[in-house]
Structure 1
Amino acid sequence: MTRIAVTKKPVDPGPAAWNDLLPARDPVRVVDEDTTADWVVIGAGFAGLAAARRLSQQCGSDKIVVLDACRVAEGPAGRNSGFMIDLPHDLSSSDYGGALDKDVTLTADNRHAIDFAATMAQDFGMGPDVFARTGKINAAATARGDAHNREYAAHLMAMGEPFEVLDSAQMKERTGISYYRSGLFTAGTAIIQPAAFVRGAAAGLSSNRVQIFENSPVTGLTHDGDWVVHTAGGNVRAPKVILAVNGHLNSFGFLKNRLMHVFTYASMTQPLTPQQSARLGGAATWGVTPADPMGTTVRRITSPQGDRILIRNRFTFDPSMEVSDQRIRSVAQDHDRAFKARFPMLGGVGMQYRWGGRLCLSRNNVSVVTELEDGLYAACCQNGLGTTRGTLSGILAAELATGTGSDRLDRALAAPAPVLLPPRFIAKPAANAVLKWQERKAGADL
Structure 2
Amino acid sequence: MHTITSIPADDEMCGWYHTSQPRTPRPGHVGETSVRWAVIGAGFVGLAAARQLALNFPDDEVALIEAQEVGFGTSGRNAGFAIDLPHDIAADDYIGDISNAQSTLDLNRLGQAMLREVVEEYGIDCDFTASGKYQAAVEARGMAHLNAYSRGLDKLGQSYDVIEGNALPEHIGTSFYKKAIFTPGTVLLQPSKLVKGLADSLPHNVKLYERTAITGVTYGEKVVLTHKDGSITADKLVLANNAFGMHFGFLQRTMLPIFLYASLTRPLNGSEKARLGGKPFWGVIPADPFGSTVRRTQDNRIFVRNSFSFNPDGRPKGQNLQRAIERHKLSFNRRFPMLPDVDFEYSWSGSLALSQNHKGFFGRLAPNVFGALCCNGLGVTRGTGTGKLLADWIAGKRHDVIDFLLATSGPNRVPPEPFTSLGVNATLWWGQRKAGLES
Sort the TM-score into its range (normalised by shorter chain): over 0.9
Q: Which runs of 5 or more structure 2 residues have no equivalent in the other structure?
A: none
Q: Which residue of 2 aligns with 1:24?
A: 22
* Aligned position for 1:405: 398
The separation in 2 between residues aligned to 1:138 and 1:279, in whole angstroms, is 23
Q: Tell me the residue number matched to 1:437.
A: 430
For structure 1, which segment, 292-301 or 431-440, has the greater mean C-alpha deviation from structure 2 after superposition? 431-440
Match of 2:223 among 224, 227, 233: 227
Counterpart-to-counterpart distance in 2, 1:5 and 1:17: 33
Q: Does 1:103 align with 2:96?
A: no
Q: How does 1:266-415 map to 2 (within 5 A)?
A: 266-303=262-299, 307-415=300-408
Mapped partners of 2:77, 2:434: distance in 1: 26
C-alpha deviation, 1:228, in angstroms: 2.1
Paired with 1:320 and 1:230, the residues of 2 have a C-alpha distance of: 20
CA distance in 2, matches of 1:423, 1:41: 29
| Shift in Å, 1:328 | 0.6
**Residue in structure 2 matching 1:265, options 253, 261, 264:** 261
SS of the residue 1:65 aligns to: strand
Match of 2:47 in 1: 49
Deviating 4+ runs (over 6 angstroms): none
Once the two structures are superposed, residues 167-201 of structure 1 have per-residue CA deviations (whole angstroms, 9 ceiling, x without a partner) of: 11321101111001111011111111100111000
Task: Give the TM-score normalised by the residue count of structure 1.
Answer: 0.95
SS in 2 for 1:329: helix
- The aligned residue for residue 117 of structure 1 is 115
- Measured after TM superposition, the shift of residue 14 of structure 1 is 4.2
What is the CA distance between 1:92 and its match in structure 2? 5.3
Percent identity (aligned): 37
Structure 1 residue 27, shift from structure 2 partner: 4.9
Equivalent in the alignment of 2:187: 190
Report Cα offsets for 1:353-390 as digits up to 9, x if no partner.
11111111111111111211111111111111111221
Paired with 1:27 and 1:376, the residues of 2 have a C-alpha distance of 27
Alignment size in residue pairs: 439
Q: Which runs of 5+ in 1 are unaligned?
A: none
| 1:156 CA drift (Å) | 0.6
Trace 1:159-170 onto structure 2 (pairs within 5 A): 159-170=156-167
Moved more, 26-35 or 256-265: 26-35
- Residue identity matched to 1:245: N
In 1, Cα distance between equivalents of 2:235 and 2:159: 46
- Alignment partners' CA distance in 2, 1:146 and 1:136: 17
Rounded to whole Å, the distance in 2 between the matches of 1:224 and 1:431 is 36
Q: AA paired with 2:202?
A: L
Partner of 1:5: 3
- Within 2, Cα distance between the matches of 1:57 and 1:425? 45
Q: In structure 2, the residue corresponding to 1:371 is in which secondary structure?
A: strand
Name the SS of the counterpart of 1:370 in structure 2.
strand
Cα shift readout 1:202-225 (whole Å, capped 9, x = no counterpart):
001053x11111001112222452
**Secondary structure at the residue paired with 2:359?**
coil
Kindly report which structure 2 residues correspond to 1:106-145, keeping only aligned pairs within 5 A, or say none: 106-127=104-125, 129-145=126-142
The separation in 2 between residues aligned to 1:414 and 1:69, in whole angstroms, is 31
- The CA deviation at 1:274 is 1.7
* Equivalence for 2:87: 89
Q: Do the aligned partners of 1:367 and 1:393 also contact (CA within 8 Å) in 2?
A: no
Q: SS of the residue aligned with 2:200?
A: helix
Structure 2 residue 67 is matched with structure 1 residue 69:
yes
